[in-house]
Amino acid sequence: MADLFGNALAYEELMGRWSVRLAPLFANFARITDGGRVLDVGCGTGSLVRTVAGMARQSAIVGIDPAQPFIEYARTRCADSRITFDRGNALDLPYPAASFGHTLSLLVLMFVPQPEKAAQEMRRATRPGGTVAACTWDRDGMEMSAVFWEEAVRSDPDAEAGSERPQRLNQAGQLAALWHATGLQQVEETVLEIGMDFTSFDDYWQPHLKGVGPTGAYVDRLPPEQRETLRRALQKRLQADRPAGPFSLRAKALAVRGVVPKTP
C-alpha cells in the first residue's frame, strides 16, 4: 500500500479531489454528532478529517494512516488545534478501547488485507453506543476506474491479474455483512453517488501517469507503446466523436453504518 500511495500531491490529482466531494455525503450518513471524539481510519490526505471538522466544531478529530507522505501533507492542510494526525495501521489501532464516539473509514477498507480485523479494531476503539461507519467505491459504479480497466484488459489480457485493483468489499451487501459479523447493531448500508467532472481528456489521463493508486501503478509498468495504445483507446471511449472538451463520469460508493452494543 505504501508503494501505491507514496505521493500525496499525485494522489490529490488522481483521487483526492473526488474524496473531498464524497466526504460530506458520507459524514452526513454516519450521523456525526458534535462534541465527541472522532477517529478517521486511513485518513489519507485529510479530506474526511477536514469535512468533519467543519461539521462538528466542538469535536476532537484524529486521523491515522500508514503512509507518512499522506500524514505530512494532511498536517500542512489542517492547522486546527482540535485535529491530530498519527501514523499507524488499521489492523492495530494504537488507541485504548472505547476512545471515540465515532470511528470512520473513507475509501480504505477495500485495500486492507484483513478487513475483518480492521472492522474489529474500529469497533474496539469506539465507545458503547457510538457509531462505526465505512465507505468504499462500488466496483461497477465507479466509471472512472471501470472504463480504465475495461480498456486495459481489452489490449492486455493480463491487466486484471497484474493490477493492484481492489477485489473486496466493493459490491452491495458486503459491507453490511462485515458489520453484522463484527457484532455491530442497527446496521444500515446505502449508496452514495457523485459526479466526476473533467475539463478535458488530459484532465482524466494525466493523473494516471503519476504512478499512484492501482491505475497509476499499472500505467507506470507499461512500455511506452502499450501506454499509448491504452491512452488512445480511453480517449476514443470517453470522447468518441465529440469535440475535445469537458465530460462527466458517475461515481457510486457503498456506505455502511452500525452502532456498538451498549452491553456485551
Map out the domains of the chain as residue ranges. 8-259
pLDDT band for 263, please (50, 70, 90 cuts): confident
Element (H, E) at 113: none
pLDDT band for 2, please (50, 70, 90 cuts): very low
Fold designation for 8-259: Rossmann fold (3.40.50)
What is the average pLDDT value for the chain, to the nearest integer? 91
In order of 98, 107, 245, the CA distances from 122 in angstroms are 10, 15, 43
pLDDT band for 168, please (50, 70, 90 cuts): confident
What dihedral do alpha carbons 55, 19, 71, 42 form, nearest 10°? Answer: 90
In order of 154, 179, 229, 230, the CA distances from 235 in angstroms are 14, 40, 10, 9
Residue 166's pLDDT is 66
pLDDT over 70, % of the chain: 94
3-class secondary structure per residue, 47-69: HHHHHHHHHCCCCEEEEEECCHH
Q: Which residue has the cell 454516519?
A: 30
Structure-block grid coordinates of residue 147: 472504463
255 Cβ neighbours under 8 A, 6+ residues apart: 25, 26, 29, 30, 133, 134, 135, 175, 189, 190, 191, 192
Rounded CA-CA distance 168/187 in Å is 19
**pLDDT higher than 90, residue 126:** yes
Beta strand 37-41 with 100-106: parallel, antiparallel or unpaired? parallel
59 Cβ neighbours under 8 A, 6+ residues apart: 32, 34, 35, 36, 37, 38, 52, 53, 82
